[in-house]
Amino acid sequence: MKTSNVSCFDLVTYLSEKRGLVDRYLDAYLPSEDRYPQQFSKALRYTLFSGGKRLRPILHLAAAEAVGGEIQSLIPFACALELIHTYSLIHDDLPPMDDDDYRRGQLTSHKVFGEALAVLAGDALLTEAFCLMSTKAVTNGLEPQIALKAIQEITEAVGASGMVAGQAVDILEEGHAAGAPVLEYIHNHKTGKFICASVTTGARLARASQQELESLFQYGRAFGLAFQIRDDILNVEGDPKKLGKSVGSDMARKKVTYPSIHGLDRSKKAMEDLVEEAIERLSSFDHQADPLREIARYIIDRID
Ligand code: GRG
């Protein structure tokens, strides 16, 4: 993690505090492991509590803070983002998709619980996310019209015009020597839109102005792409122990990635330029946007 540009803001403490907030809420929200059917309840919790950076919820809360909002009433929304993210990881690891045995250093859900329960755990986490956003979030005192707009934005980012479509193209294009336009489509849809919506919905729920939303959209767009490029780079030269999963799988499956099209050096440069752009997009924000600035800088050196 780069610290050269950090003044008094402590990113490590910030991330740990926000992670704690999210984890406590998720723990209370989900059925306990001893609730019938116990094997399913265990599967629901297994991947969710197997680590993970909680990046999307933290970006959501940090964006709310950047526009001067309070975050307590946004915690259900933030947690819903993590539920959606976890469902996508469980399904992505399944044999008909990436067929991965390890994630975050632990056996994947289907290796522990079997494919059927892993599919169902993912299905349930996705469904619960929308329950959280539509009920708990609104009863938390959020403006219903704004909450509804945020739910639409998240749906668009993760559904048939977003993450799922990106995943579909990723699978359909395996081994096809796809070019830059396909790569751009996959990165934008599979990763970028969800990360971007995590930022903009946090700000929207905190009553951001149109101008603030536009700047944060641009921040999220640049951040999301930089994050995915870093992911592609880690799949080439990351440390499997730190990543908690194998590397080299993209090349083995002949997947189109930033390094496969642009090479490693140009990929690193593109990522650094995008991080710089993301930070630049926050130029009209005061110190309350420091967490967003530091989270963007953190991408460049992230190792997991
Ligand atoms: C199955 C519908 C469906 C979608 C799957 C998100 C996704 C699409 C697949 C996961 C595989 C992958 C490498 C996606 C790129 C996005 C990405 C970098 C995910 C990992 O996110 P992190 O780093 O994960 O935030 P942690 O472990 O920290 O939660």
pLDDT (tens digit per residue) in 72-86: 999 999 999 999 999
DSSP-derived secondary structure for 27-82: HHHSPPTTSSSHHHHHHHHHHHTS----HHHHHHHHHHHHTT---GGGHHHHHHHH
Does 231 contact ligand 1 (Cβ within 6 A)?
yes
Mean pLDDT of 164-168: 98
User: Using one digit for the tens of pLDDT, what is the confidence trace for 169-194?
Assistant: 999 999 898 999 999 999 999 999 99
CA dihedral 237, 243, 246, 251 (to 10 degrees): -40
Give the per-residue pLDDT at 7.
54
Mutational test site, ligand 1, from 191, 245, 250, 257, max ligand atoms within 8 Å of CB: 191
* pLDDT exceeds cutoff 80 at 302: yes
Query: Does 88 sit in the ligand 1 pocket, CB within 6 Å?
Result: yes
Atom number in ligand 1 closest to CA 91? 1
Peptide bond before residue 37 is cis, with ω within 30 degrees of 0: yes
**119-137: per-residue pLDDT in tens?**
999 999 999 999 999 987 7
Give the Cα separation of 54 and 195 in Å (integer). Answer: 11
Residue 126 confidence (pLDDT):
98
